[in-house]
Amino acid sequence: MKISLKKIVFIVIILLFLTGSTYGITCLKDIADYKQAVKETTIEEINISDISDGVYNGEYDVKFIYAKVEITIQNGEITTINPLEHRHERGKPAESIIHKMITEQKIDVHAISGATNSGTVIKKTVEIALKSANRRSK
């Protein structure tokens, strides 16, 4: 049985379309999942003055956005927040909230317009680091 080149090309195109459609549907679901995860993320304020001096790490991942930070606490204040990693879509400007958190000595500072999701992930990462500090100091 001889299959024509046209039939082979047609079958390959159909297979590529079906594979691409499955991938596209998976990507759309992942995007919806990450947006929902960010939407459900809550930020809890931590009393920084209760935290022992030290260096603490935190990380938070919602698929498309991931952040990892190292925080230094000295004399009951945040002295540095070093972003060790920040995987983002268009959220690079959100990193400027780090300076705000140090200046205001609190986590829940105003987000940067256009980078709200990344800002939320960075704030949650800082919260997680500070909570780990609370666990270690008890």
Q: What is the CATH number of the domain that holds 71?
A: 3.90.1010.20
Whether residue 37 is contained in a domain is answered as no
Q: Which domain holds residue 86?
A: 48-137
Whether residue 112 is contained in a domain is answered as yes
Whether residue 25 is contained in a domain is answered as no
Read off φ and ψ for residue 132, nearest 5 degrees: -65, -35
Whether residue 42 is contained in a domain is answered as no
Domains contained in the chain, number: 1
**Does 137 have pLDDT greater than 60?**
no
Whether residue 14 is contained in a domain is answered as no
Q: pLDDT tens-digit profile of 69-85?
A: 999 999 999 999 999 99
Q: Structure tokens of 106? A: 């609190």
Q: Could you tell me the pLDDT band of residue 136, with boundaries at 50, 70 and 90?
A: low
Q: Could you tell me the pLDDT band of residue 30, with boundaries at 50, 70 and 90?
A: low
Q: How many CB atoms lie within 10 A of CB 27?
A: 10
Whether residue 2 is contained in a domain is answered as no
Whether residue 29 is contained in a domain is answered as no
Read off φ and ψ for residue 31, nearest 5 degrees: -65, -45
> What is the DSSP annotation of 62-126?
-SS-EEEEEEEEETTEEEEEEEEEEE-SS-GGGGGHHHHHHHHTSS-PPPPTT-HHHHHHHHHHH
pTM, to two decimals: 0.75
Q: Structure tokens of 135? A: 């666990």
Average pLDDT score over residue span 25-38: 73
Whether residue 101 is contained in a domain is answered as yes
More confidently predicted of 7 and 67: 67
Cβ 52 vs Cβ 22: under 8 Å: no
More confidently predicted of 90 and 70: 70
Cβ 111 vs Cβ 96: under 8 Å: no
Q: Could you tell me the pLDDT band of residue 12, with boundaries at 50, 70 and 90?
A: confident
